[in-house]
Structure 1
């Protein structure tokens, strides 16, 4: 597989661009691999490129005045960071923290000037940006609604369901879950015990098995309704 095929397979919008635009993009991109926890962006940073995640994930989060963290979203394979895109095009500082998640991250970095030019001339690049924006805005609105309406236990259930995927296994520590939710480890520990007592999960160090995902989803539906 050529480099062009490899990039196009991970990011189909590249293959939809004109050949000259593809060539320019491939000449300009840099492939980077970073270890878990590596900081990529911090509040106030100037954004000089576009990041396209190929493997692993990048966690975008905030830190409250009391030092507690809260996850805004994860940038997963095939995705980019809308906050970074917004900072790039609006020429404003980055407003959050972005770091490689638990398994690290492998991503492509496109120079800002190259992507802005491609965006001006390539409909495929425009569609990619708008798709990223619309999908992420919907997710952020869901997160805001959860924080405003859902009790902490249901917020934890929503996070477990989101991170479990097809395996029904979440490989996160109580401390990591607390950081994602913007609460304390003690609170998460109590909530996990409560869910385990209801036979909904099996909780072990860094491994939470969802025993009945259907019932967990029903809990969210009932609470939201």
Structure 2
């Protein structure tokens, strides 16, 4: 079975990397590739269909929406990330988040029935998804105190770092220097990601800019001092 090189690369980055090709073939033979333009949504909160996707290229965010319309990003997904694994094994399932492409992205949608059938027949497939579910549990356990106890400044710092470590925004010759990181993100998008008002994010960015940690341009933020920003992102420095 001939597999797209970018799909092969994504599989090597995923928890499916140790599953033999002949076993994966039963899943991939009926998988469908989906292209998502930047800003488009692949699944919405509350949908009940079981689903599992592999991110081939690009970057997506998974977010929740409060009753007042505010949003909060709970996960960023890049090449190799598996989305929706819990839907395959939960007895009753409704998608708890909305998944949106941050940049043009490609997903490989794997049929839920084919995946669960392969997992029931081959311990290596089952083990791969157990590892995936374990990672998701640990990441969300960490996410709870990070969102509950971190200040807005700390949340902004963390989201800037998360976005900069994987989004292909290209070099910014007018802003970016060697060793710096760049983020293509508006102030409103950043406010939506951390679950606060745009005015609060504007104030935090101004403080970070005055301290020399970042520089800003039109819908672009350059992290001039990544090490210092990483320290800012630590919500519990005593742990």
Please give the TM-score of this superposition, normalised by the length of structure 2: 0.83
| Unaligned 5+ runs, structure 1 | none
Match of 2:237 in 1: 224
Task: For residue 181 of structure 1, report the CA deviation from its aligned partner.
Answer: 0.3
Q: Secondary structure of 1:11's partner?
A: helix
> Is the helix fraction higher in 1 or 2?
1
Do the aligned partners of 2:19 and 2:128 also contact (CA within 8 Å) in 1?
A: no
Match of 1:169 in 2: 182
Do the aligned partners of 1:4 and 1:26 also contact (CA within 8 Å) in 2?
A: no
- Displaced runs of 4+ in structure 1, greater than 6 A? none
Instruction: State the Cα deviation string for residues 155-201 of structure 1 (Å, max 9, x = none).
Output: 11111122222751111110110010011111101100011111111
Moved more, 6-15 or 137-146: 6-15
Match of 1:35 in 2: 37
Q: How is 1:78-157 mapped onto 2 (pairs within 5 angstroms)?
A: 78-81=80-83, 84-90=84-90, 91-101=92-102, 103-157=103-157
Instruction: State the Cα deviation string for residues 79-123 of structure 1 (Å, max 9, x = none).
Output: 112xx222232241212211222x122011111100001111223
| Unaligned 5+ runs, structure 2 | 166-178
Give the 3 Å change call, closer, same or farther, for CA 222–184 of structure 1 in structure 2. Answer: closer
Moved more, 116-125 or 51-60: 116-125
Instruction: State the Cα deviation string for residues 60-95 of structure 1 (Å, max 9, x = none).
Output: 1111011101001022110112xx222232241212
How much is the aligned-residue C-alpha RMSD, in angstroms?
A: 2.3
Number of positions where the alignment pairs a residue of Structure 1 with one of Structure 2: 221
Match of 1:17 in 2: 20
Q: Distance in 2 between matches of 1:128 and 1:111?
A: 16
Instruction: State the Cα deviation string for residues 29-48 of structure 1 (Å, max 9, x = none).
Output: 11111112222212221223
Please give the TM-score of this superposition, normalised by the length of structure 1: 0.88
